[in-house]
Amino acid sequence: MNLKDKICLITGSANGIGEKCAFKFAEYGARLILIDQDEKITSISKLLEKKYNREVKFIVGDITSKKVLNLMETTIINDFKRIDILFNNAGVIRLSDDISKLEEKDWDLQVNVNLKSIYLVLQKIIPIMKNQNFGNILNTASMTGSVVGMSGLAGYCASKGGVIGLTKCVALELAKYNIRCNAVSPGAIDTDFYNKEFLKNNPNNELESGKKYMESVIPFGRYGNADDIANVALFLASELSGYMTGQNIIVDGGYSTQ
């Protein structure tokens, strides 16, 4: 797989899956634009430039803000003149006992970041891709919401299910412009993404107990890791998947096949 000199934009790239994908894409030759509201994106970008001798631009800020979206567009047009790969990866998760206990602000946050941000980014990127008659869009969905439900995650499930519908629609609308759009749906992945949210209201021993149970019902008998997702994302970003569009690849150790 080769991403040599491909211009790749990754949102939500300061931690977990996004961070791992940034390193993986750089390893295979991509030039990167990284966006995250975590200041950590600054040090990650500098490390990537040094380690892989790749051009890396970064933007610190909320991907749903007009300021960040405009800066993203300007960076692409002025610094790179094109965009080959867009990876919509930014995401948040909030827990509640059930949907009646889910606060409206937490519903809005998940829908805005997990789903609306993709719409907002596409509004800026699609005209550029149409003009160049080429593009590759990858969206992070989730096993949870795209193929199974999960108690306590109503807002997350709703937003991630929406990502799948949006992915299929965009794939159909843009195929005539040689632009493809696919999704990757991680299952239970051993990052801090879910853990930090769970530990806000629960003790660590309950988290460990829950993780052990989850491992027991995953056919592979283990949590996935960020590399498991980054490897699939690399395939979707490369031309090895050049005849795929509108698809959702589920990477969950077999959980959702049961």
- 7-190+225-251 CATH: 3.40.50.720
User: Looking at the annotation, which residues are catalytic?
Assistant: 156
Rounded Cα distance between 42 and 183, Å, is 27
The per-residue pLDDT for 13 is 96
Q: Which residue's entry shows tokens 């939500």?
A: 12
pLDDT less than 50: residues of the chain = none
100 residue type, one letter: S
What is 28-61 written as a DSSP string? TT-EEEEEESSTHHHHHHHHHHHHH---EEEEES
Task: For 139-175, write each residue's pLDDT tens digit.
Answer: 999 999 989 999 999 999 999 999 999 999 999 999 9
Q: So what's the pLDDT on residue 198?
A: 72
Q: How does pLDDT run across 223-255, given as a tens digit for each residue? A: 999 999 999 999 999 999 999 999 999 999 999
Instruction: Report which of 95, 108, 182, 97 is spatially closest to residue 144, judged by C-alpha positions.
Output: 95
